[in-house]
A and B are shown apart, each in its own frame.
Chain A
Amino acid sequence: MADVMDIMGLDDFEQENTAMDDINSETINLVCTLIDESGSMGGNIQEMNYNQSSFKDALANSKEADEMLVAKGTFSNSNVVIGGYKKIEEFDTTYKASGMTPLYDAIIIGAEKLVSYRTYLKDQGMNVKAVFAVFSDGEDTSSRNSLSEARRFVENLNSLEIPTAFIAFGNSAINEATNLKFKSILKIDSNTPDPASALRHAFDVLSKSTIKSVSVVGNNVSDDLFTM
């Protein structure tokens, strides 16, 4: 499936994402968040709602807010919905959970969109940085693509020095994240002393990494985001 995606024209990129004229910067940080909305995540609804709002506020209130565009992707059953890269004010913080887990499909589509838009912006003269983060309890139950295909996309992001982070809810997700070759993995489960705090920490690290990445020259983000 991944090999037959349409190549987007310039107008498509402008419509799906943020138009060049609306970007008041020559440096931009793309933040891709893929959030698992499968039924098994049902116990985290309240925390996910709260922390997405905090994440949005942290980015929106930073002085670097004009220099970042955020895409939110959700996946459940066979549905992968990935919005365009928009200003943080447009980030949708709602969360629901039902159905199965098309994790690999989400990663492939998300990574492909991120790399395509990154290339488009670079071709327009932008300096572009990016972060790719997945929130999931794994394991994959409904993807059309395989683990090895999804891993190829994660490895491509790693080779492009795009930080890849997996916030893993439980051991199954840890195994998936490890097999997928994510560089940064944070485990959150019932054995975590304070799961709510750990999730807050994950969003906090993600927002701080994003802000720091915009404001500092060079590849300042460490290989493992969660060791900060």
Chain B
Amino acid sequence: MLVCKIGFEHVEKGLNCQDFGFELADYKGIMDGCSEGKHSEVGVKLFAHLFSETDGNNIEYCFDILHNLFHTYEDIRSHMLFTVLLVSQNEDEYIVDICGDGYIIKQRHDDFIEYKKIGEGNSPEYFAYNFISPDHLSKYKDGVEFKRHLLSKTEYKAVGVASDGLEYILNSPFKDEFEKHLIGRKEFAIRRLINREHKYFKDDISIVI
């Protein structure tokens, strides 16, 4: 199930939706473009396209291609600053690879939903920092890399990821309604909930589970 909706403030400010998500055979994931980047949605969608073409086998290759397109500091800032959250699985575990911030959504076998927030503060670890001279960076001068989270299938029925815009749902009066639809995988009910109460949901929201 994939939901990707533009945030209310993006609409008000005339910004594009800078989140994007996908479901492939072996991977599902979401990307959340930095709102300070003028057109981070361009990088987000190009990355998703490249990632799907390589069947998710070579993330660095995807970023290298993007860097060939956006090679100046300004270009990188405008197009390549986005978080990446990916979910795959093997026989025993769910594998979550994250570079940046967002949420891991964990559905236990009794359908209780747990949320794990990844990254605190306003300085997500964007992978594109690896292409920027440390002189331009106040943090992450030594580079950033994907961090892996392994979650046991004996403990969890399903695992998904979401962009940080999810916090507006979790802090809203509609959290219970959201969870009911999430557990039922009611994609359109979640979309309609976001449409209906759009003013609560200021940031773009993408969820895949």
Contact = CB atoms under 8 A, between A and B. Distances in A.
A24 interface: yes
B188 interface: yes
B193 interface: yes
Interface in B174-209: 186, 188-189, 191-197
Interface string B64-104: 00000000000000000000000000000000000000000
A26 B195 contact: yes
B192 A24 contact: no
B189 A21 contact: yes
Nearest to A126: B192
Interface of A, secondary structure class, is loop
Contacts, number: 24
The contact size tier of chain B is 10 to 19
A3 interface: no
A62 B191 CA distance: 23
A126 B197 CA distance: 11
B17 to A, nearest CB: 14
A24 to B, nearest CB: 6
A139 B192 CA distance: 42
Contact of A20 (B189, B195, B197): B189
Contact of B195 (A21, A23, A24, A127): A127
A133 B150 CA distance: 57
A117 to B, nearest CB: 15
A25 B196 contact: no
Contacts of B192: 20, 26, 124-126
B135 to A, nearest CB: 44
Contacts of A6: none
B196 A23 contact: no
Interface of B: 186, 188-189, 191-197
Given A23-B188, A124-B192, 20 more contacts: A20-B189, A20-B192, A21-B186, A21-B189, A24-B188, A25-B188, A26-B188, A26-B191, A26-B195, A123-B196, A124-B196, A125-B191, A125-B192, A125-B193, A125-B195, A125-B196, A125-B197, A126-B192, A126-B195, A127-B195
